[in-house]
A and B are shown apart, each in its own frame.
Chain A
Amino acid sequence: MELAYHGHSGFSLSVGGKAYYKELFEPLMPGCRLVPFNDLPAIRAIASKRTAAILLEPVQGEGGIHVATDAYLQGLRTLCDELGIILIFDEIQTGFGRTGKIWFSEHSGVVPDIMCLAKSIGGGVCPNGAIVYRDTEQLAGYVNRNPFFHTSSGGGNDISCQVSSKVIDVLLERKLWENAEMMGTRLKEGLTRIMENNASIIKEIRGKGLMIGIEYTQEFMGVLMADCLSNSGIFAAYSGNAPQVMRFMLPLTVTETQVDEFLNRFKKAVSIQRLYLFFLLPLSKIPIVRKWLNEDDILIPVNVLLRKFGM
């Protein structure tokens, strides 16, 4: 998918959607094509019986928190079934309760053929990653005939497996996806209120559960806000593949008090940002200046300069 992010090794990079990560390392794998996300006709136009797999993150994380619609995922499932294509969900960021269900796929009821898991599977303690696949003749049969088709010395190491088993226990015992749903709603509502008073800065709040994206009105604001937030005591990253979008992925254990504290700090950061913008917004009306501001290389020194003046 365009704007997709699946990682940095050979196959994953080849299906990635950001030029910065790829262009200096090309040629990558041929036979990988990108289509716009949530656009069923676009993928229908290029999928064929020769297509091995359709691969996507049901919520694009790095791409800027774009949530796949139920209709899109159902459409993909039908398309894959028609043409014998394997449907792969990368649930590395959406899995383990993040979006208010244990797996994102539960929202739409679409079951992929293969699901990729990592990150939270290790509970922040041990590296681990896995794929799970449907018990079909096609997939299970292949693995059965090629049991060593993919080996990994660190993958499935005993310590990580014990930790990951515990992660699943805790997730189920504490039903953390329910908290993700409740706290996600609280956070989204709070942010929406802030957006309503700051329409010049915030364009949209979107996401699912505790996977929330804030889209700023201009690209350079992501970088600036990251700085303002860090001054207010919030560590936040803007999206690698869409710098105008900032992602908030609070731990699923977050409490109401913490969400409210977060919102207070966020509000404070927005007021600092307004000060910056007092200078920058009029300037950014000039196309060439806006272009400069959207370049990290230029924005960062500007930022440092502003800070010198006590901002």
Chain B
Amino acid sequence: MTTMPAYKAIQKGAMTKELISEARSLFSQGLVERLSAHGLDIVESHAKGAYLYDVDGNAYIDGYSGASTYNLGRKNTSAVEVLKQSARETDHGNFVLISEEKATLASRLADFISGDLSCSLFTVVRGEAMDAACKLARGYTGKTELISVDGGWYGETGFSMGLSDRGDKKQFGTLIPGQTIVEFNNIDAAQKSINHDTAAFILEPVQAENHCRKADEKYLRELKLLCEHFGTLLIFDETQTGFGRTGHKFAKDYYGVEPDILVFGEAVTAGVFPMTGLVFTPEVKTFFDAHPLIHLCTFGGHDVGCRVACHMLDQYDAKRPWEQTQKTGKRLMDDLRSLLQDKPEVLDSVSGMGLLVSMRFKDRDVAKDFCVAARNNGLFVVQGAVAKESVVLRPPLTITENEIDQLTDIVKIVMKKI
């Protein structure tokens, strides 16, 4: 058990200033300005559990967790050992070949994820996993249309960007044709758009970047029926909701709705190694039976990464962090909701599920000010990528109740400053 660092207002130190100033020429002036304006001008030195430390020794609660990836805590000790040992014993292998590592992870995932999602494909980044899912849906169904919902965010590659609710995507030209976005949680809108040419309906059960907006249970159940009726695949992106984040192994388990393809994120290695992927049903796999090696990825199914992921699945099974997350998540949510009365003119609502919690402010400037004040008081948080007036709190799932209280105390201090 590590001791919790006491709350201390942050002193921006010389090291941080120096490195930030170096970043101006290496990356861009704009980046540095943007980071500073949004309370993201932190230069990490090391991290442990729910905390990260900057190069000047200031401690922060990690309220971002690498966008919901460090579910089992920063710098997970045994994960580091497995990573070191694996790197000594193997390397990334050969992506065209089968390996024991890939096979072991695939079979572990089939056991770990409930239901019929027993086949897998490994990728490196979220967007690529979503692109592969869309391709699989088009390939399997022989149909072209892809439908998603407003408020979604799936990554930065071709297919995923087109499906995301992203204001500036037009600057990248005409993206993948045949992609439609309909209103979230509106079954009539879904019904109007789905037809016999729809390959897939794609959504996140909880939209992390959009004020953690949740799908209605009824909506998902009806959507599933609708998809079945039209021979459309249902794709869940559980990049941010998977591996216990919502207080359930996967959000689909809470809803009791089974997708045909599920995209999972870096939480599969608990953020220790870059790896994402998708799992799908044996029925959908028949496409790959007929068309092997049609989606390749040099680093997908990296042998070192697979070993790390297998170890993390053992840890997930042993610790069952989703159980603790139900308690800590509720505690966090209740505490934050109690703040709603204090400053209703600034804080508009609190929503989410488990330890994926969002505070929505009056506008994006207030949200930005919140992040800056949080940074200055030892809490690292980031605004929602879609709902920029929201700030998402997603600490490692290993965070203790005491640490949650400390987080809430910081939020209270911050609320007084904005």
Residues of A with Cβ closer than 8 Å to B? 8-14, 20-21, 24-31, 52, 118-119, 122, 124-127, 140, 143-155, 157-160, 235, 237, 240
Contacts and interface: CB of A to CB of B under 8 A. Distances in A.
Contacts of A21: 294
A167 to B, nearest CB: 13
A145 B30 contact: yes
Contacts of B162: 10
Contacts of A237: 96
Nearest to B129: A9
Given A10-B158, A21-B294, A127-B302, A154 B168 contact: no
Nearest to B29: A144
Contacts of A149: 168
B418 interface: no
Interface string B203-219: 00000000000000000
B268 to A, nearest CB: 11
A52 B173 contact: yes
Interface string B16-58: 0000000000011111001100000000100000000000000
A127 B291 CA distance: 26
A8 B30 contact: no
Interface string B283-296: 00000000101111
22 contacts: A8-B128, A8-B295, A10-B131, A10-B176, A21-B294, A26-B138, A27-B144, A31-B173, A52-B173, A119-B298, A125-B92, A126-B304, A127-B92, A144-B28, A144-B31, A147-B35, A150-B156, A151-B156, A154-B124, A154-B266, A159-B273, A160-B274
B224 to A, nearest CB: 24
Nearest to A32: B173
A146 B28 CA distance: 10
A74 B276 CA distance: 40
A31 B174 contact: yes
A53 B166 CA distance: 23
B158 A24 contact: no
Contacts of A153: 66-67, 69, 125-126, 265-266, 274
Given A25-B139, A27-B144, A125 B304 contact: yes
A127 B294 contact: no
A148 B156 CA distance: 11
The 3 closest A-B pairs by CB, nearest first: A10-B158, A154-B274, A127-B299
B160 interface: yes
A160 B66 CA distance: 15
A148 B34 contact: yes
B160 A147 contact: no
A144 B30 contact: yes
Contact of A127 (B87, B139, B265, B305): B305
A28 B174 contact: no
Contacts of B160: 10
A54 B276 CA distance: 30
A149 B34 CA distance: 12
B412 interface: no
Contacts of B305: 127
Contacts of B177: 27, 30
B64 to A, nearest CB: 10
Contact of B274 (A9, A12, A127, A151): A127
B30 A147 contact: yes
Contacts of B66: 153
Given A124-B92, A144-B30, A9 B174 contact: no
A24 B294 contact: yes
Interface in B78-94: 83, 87, 91-92, 94
Nearest to A62: B296
B126 to A, nearest CB: 7
Looking at A11, A31, A154, the one whose CB has the most chain B CB atoms below 10 A away is: A154
Contacts of B168: 146, 149
Given A10-B176, A29-B158, A153-B66, A143 B30 contact: yes
Interface in B100-117: none
B191 interface: no
Given A10-B131, A127-B302, A29 B28 contact: no
Contact of A155 (B125, B159, B304): B125
Nearest to B179: A27
A143 B125 contact: no
B186 interface: no
B94 to A, nearest CB: 8
B344 interface: no
A143 B266 CA distance: 26
Given A52-B173, A144-B30, 7 more contacts: A8-B128, A9-B128, A9-B158, A25-B135, A127-B124, A127-B299, A153-B126
B156 A152 contact: yes
B157 interface: yes
A3 to B, nearest CB: 16
A138 to B, nearest CB: 13
B67 to A, nearest CB: 5
Contacts of A143: 27-28, 30-31
Interface string B157-192: 111111000001000011111100000000000000
Given A9-B128, A25-B139, A153-B125, A147 B28 contact: yes
A240 B162 CA distance: 28
Contact of B174 (A29, A118, A124, A160): A29
A143 B91 CA distance: 34
Contact of A125 (B87, B94, B173, B296): B87
A28 B302 contact: no
Which of B87, B126, B175, B176 is most buried by chain A, counting CB atoms within 10 A of its CB?
Answer: B176
Given A143-B28, A154-B274, A28 B92 contact: no
B125 A11 contact: no
B355 interface: no
Contact of A11 (B92, B158, B273, B298): B158
A8 B297 contact: yes
B338 to A, nearest CB: 32
A9 B305 CA distance: 21
Interface in B123-145: 124-128, 131-132, 134-135, 138-139, 144
A180 B34 CA distance: 43
Contacts of A159: 83, 273
A124 B157 CA distance: 24
Contact of A27 (B156, B176, B266): B176
A146 B125 contact: no
A10 B135 CA distance: 9
A118 B158 contact: no
